[in-house]
Structure 1
Amino acid sequence: MVDLSLLLWAAIPPLLLLGYYYCRMPFAPPLLKLLMFFIIGAISGFLALRLEWDFENVANSFVDWHQIKRTLLGTALRQLVEIGPIEEGCKLAAVVIPSYYLQRKYRLLHSTVFLFAIAVSLGFTAEENWIYFFHGTASVFERTIGTPVHAMFSAPWGYALGIYISSKNRLNRDKKFIFRAWLNSVICHALVNVLSSAWGYSLPLRFLSYGLFPFLLWMFWRLEQLLRKVQGKPVITLVSERTPQHRYWQRSLVLFALVLGGNAIFGLFLLVRTVSPLSPSKFFDTDILWFIFSRFLLNLFLGVLAWGIYRYLRHSARRRYF
């Protein structure tokens, strides 16, 4: 029998995030249609799981696939040829097929298709959450933190698909744009999974995990930029100088801000994961209280510094253009 509490913990965070994007989107489709895409996304998650299972069974008949994926290089290969293409392909099909039938009756807007892609990705996330909770391989906190990740993966092809479907004159170059965007999503999907698994390897490979949250922060930024485009708003400019030297300097600042901000979030994530198993009475021990306070201040300082760099770059862009 399905545990209702697990189902609620799996579905509620993605549904809340879907509601957030629904409220932000002008001319949003009816909420029932979005929920339909959310459910289709969850179904596509089970389909992807089945296809991955079949892929591994077939692969094991030719090579020792389980042995290959124990190394970091094997993990990267598995993500690029199995996990990324199957999961992004299932999500893409879960948007394309219903949209094909809907566009016979309605003219779908660019923003509508993009929101459909977010809804499917969040439904996929809900299914994935339930699988992790059912097998006890991840905590509620860890999965809640990862709620927007599948939406961030799918944002490029969701944007490209929206351009193609909403266009009156569908060009061949728009189809190529969809494939390139989908391939970008596959690569980003694979890279995130590789970086997240690097923590389980020995040094120096373990240091790769420190690139995970900066990369996730960049993908979140990309999602927000694409969202601004479909809303009809101008994108936020951070690199505004014209000379190559100044542009390299600003790009370096952007990268530095991502490293600082991403690892500040990573540090807080590790802090919560470290202290969460402790009993409430332990929090008042002097050593533990000082540990929590010092780590929190350190990561807060890094986050504020990254925010300061971001505000400086935005102020420089405004001053140049206005």
Structure 2
Amino acid sequence: MRLLLKLAISWILWGIGFYLYYPFLSIFLVRYIKPSELGFFYLTTLIFSLPLPYLGGKINKKFGDKYSIILGMSISGTGILLLPFASSIILLYIFMIMYNSFYIALPAFYELMEIEGKSTISKVWAISVLPSIFMPSIGGMISQYLGFTYLFIISAFFIIFSFLPLITQKEIKNTDPKIEFYPIISLIILPVALSSQFIYLVIKEMYNLSDTLIGIIATFAELLGSIIAFTSSFISSKKAINLSLILFSLQSLIIISPYFSAFYGLWESIIPLSLSISKKNYVSAVTMQMIGWILGYLIASIIQSPRDAIFLSSVLSLIVLAFINFGKY
């Protein structure tokens, strides 16, 4: 089996698990955490997870890429599996940090994709979004009729087993991970981080939507992001980032209709496109992405207003767009 096919199958399995629960994570968490404190919760768990890409790089160097993938995805899936069983806020933090262990695997995934040639990351990312066509809707029905426990358990097994297609992959050891700084990557991720934990929660509260309808909207959002991500592999990264940021900024029009939240789906093209600036140092690239998420969560925790965070996210996406076109990038 070709490496590209193995990677595609692995990420499709991950995508099935991810898109099944993702639109409902914040909706689940507000049972335990105030909406105004969600930003701080995500911020704290991500700060503790910041060393994970570097750890993954060390494992890549000593044992090979597939071992960091096996470890990272197994721990990540286990975190999701345990999440609905958290009996205290401390356990909720621990299980979310466990879930973030996919950051151990990400540098190895990207390095393997790089072997397959230019634009492979965007193409595989777009393929992995295919489950978003139906999984959010299924997740909405599961959460509405069976409950969140079943939703997270089913999601967890797909996430854990996402490493299986790579179990026979030949070991590829990489050089020592050196941290380099690409501030533009953090700036690109910042608008996404600001609205990510709030977008579906806000439209649910604004328009009193059912979980099933939230799932359908999320499906359209991810499908839109998938189309743009796949298209971006055929044009210059700068043009693709420009288009993605412009469309992403339209999410603030949720004040007119909840369906404008579908433009949040452009995060699916923004994240892989940000890697084009990394000069193939994926440990550093993933770390800088995490810093962008941390900054977004920090701002959200200061604002303590989910709706304001979404509007600021749209404004910042346009500011980043201007910086990319008139700055040094």
TM-score, length basis structure 2 = 0.32
- Larger Rg over CA atoms: 1
Greater RCO structure (CA 8 Å; 6+ sep): 2
